[in-house]
Amino acid sequence: MMLSALARLARSECDVIGTARDGETLLQEVRELHPDLVILDIFMPEMDGFAAGRRIMNEFPQTRLIYVTLQPDQSLIAEATRIGASALVAKASMGRSLAGAIRRTMGGNAGNQ
């Protein structure tokens, strides 16, 4: 349910070319589709979002990352920033925040929500 809601929100700002329910599938999709932007959950099955993000940035450093999480805290924000994420969006405010994060990220501006 969260994946479909996330894809629906993202479609208002960009073309959604793939979705994945776990970190391993996400990496396969990124390798096949070469997206400009990946929106990923920090807590995913098979491989968490931080591990997936590090691998994406190693293989495709031009790809931009936006993380979503249930409870953002300073340690999560710090780790997302270290990996190279452009934004971290709380799921509770995703409806209001995701579109702005996508616009800022694709416009070249980095920042956390």
- Tens-place pLDDT, residues 61-91: 999 999 998 888 899 999 999 999 999 988 8
Q: Is residue 112 part of a domain?
A: no
Whole-prediction pTM value?
0.83
The CB density around residue 2, as the number of other CB atoms within 10 Å, is 12
d(CA 10, CA 15): 8
Count of the separate structural domains present in the chain: 1
Q: Is residue 47 part of a domain?
A: yes
Q: Quick one: average pLDDT of 17-28? A: 93
Residue 23: give the domain boundaries.
Answer: 2-106
**Distance set, CA 48 to CA 9, 15, 72, 97 (Å):** 22, 24, 15, 22
Q: Is residue 111 part of a domain?
A: no
Which domain CATH number covers 36? 3.40.50.2300
Q: Is residue 113 part of a domain?
A: no
Residues 6+ apart with CB under 8 A from 90: 68, 69, 70, 71, 72, 97, 113
Q: Is residue 90 part of a domain?
A: yes
